[in-house]
Amino acid sequence: MRPVIGVSCYGERAAWGAWDVDAVVLHRAYVEALEASGAAVVIVPPVSDEATIDAIVSRLDGLVLAGGADINPADYGADAHETTDRPRLDRDRTERHLYRAARDEGLSVLGICRGMQVMAVESGGSLIQDLPDAGYGTIHREKPGTFTEHGATFTTGSLIARVLETIETTVNSSHHQAVAEAGRLTVTGHAADGTVEVLEDPDAAFVLGVQWHPEMSEDRRLFQALVHAAHRRTAAASHTLA
């Protein structure tokens, strides 16, 4: 059976057909990457009730925290930089609780771009609000809606190095913020300029955050690894019940 993987999404104004309304939306690339990797995909919208989030997580085998707008700086005790996006408070609240509940359930987790930053903030970390202003230049994004390629190196023996079978590769980025402090997570990847590219929890079977966008690549190994880890956990749970 296909593991059920939940993917967080946007709550944004959107237009299609005759409609121009508040909507929940997600780039289709996430769904396609997960389905191609063997997952049954469920899109998880921003919600206001934590009990609803807990009910959703209890039915999942794994979780992807998707990319998107900047996290509210108040969540890590900072004032907003002039370049920081308008807060999406419902999404921040939902994704932080999703991550917390997924960890409590022992689910496999993959955080992508903003998703990795959510993991860091929920783990007690903090963010750099604007990389160019902090002296990092535009290596990670020249302008919104575009991707840039740059190198990344990984810690030998880390989960990311095992999944990608290398300690050095090229990644595709589109972000102006980055992790400053990882909190309870472990940094296992950096860009050449020192920007954090990967976070992991070495005590978990599969808890991984990447700063780049694997859904926009033909390389499905990160999604395949997530699905495999979710399947392995589900199979072990079924064996225990039997």
Catalytic residues: 113, 213, 215
Is-contact 33 110, C-beta < 8 A? no
Which residues does 47 contact at the CB level (< 8 Å), separation at least 6? Answer: 53, 90, 94
Alpha helices per DSSP H over 134-188: 159-164
Q: Name the DSSP letter for residue 217.
A: S
Residue 240 CB-density burial (10 A; 0-12 exposed, 13-18 middle, 19+ buried): exposed
Is-contact 97 133, C-beta < 8 A? no
Which residues does 160 contact at the CB level (< 8 Å), separation at least 6? Answer: 154, 188, 189, 198, 200, 208, 210
Query: Position 7: which residue type?
Result: V
How far is residue 196 CA from its own chain's centroid?
14
How far is 188 from 214, CA to CA, in rounded Å? Answer: 17
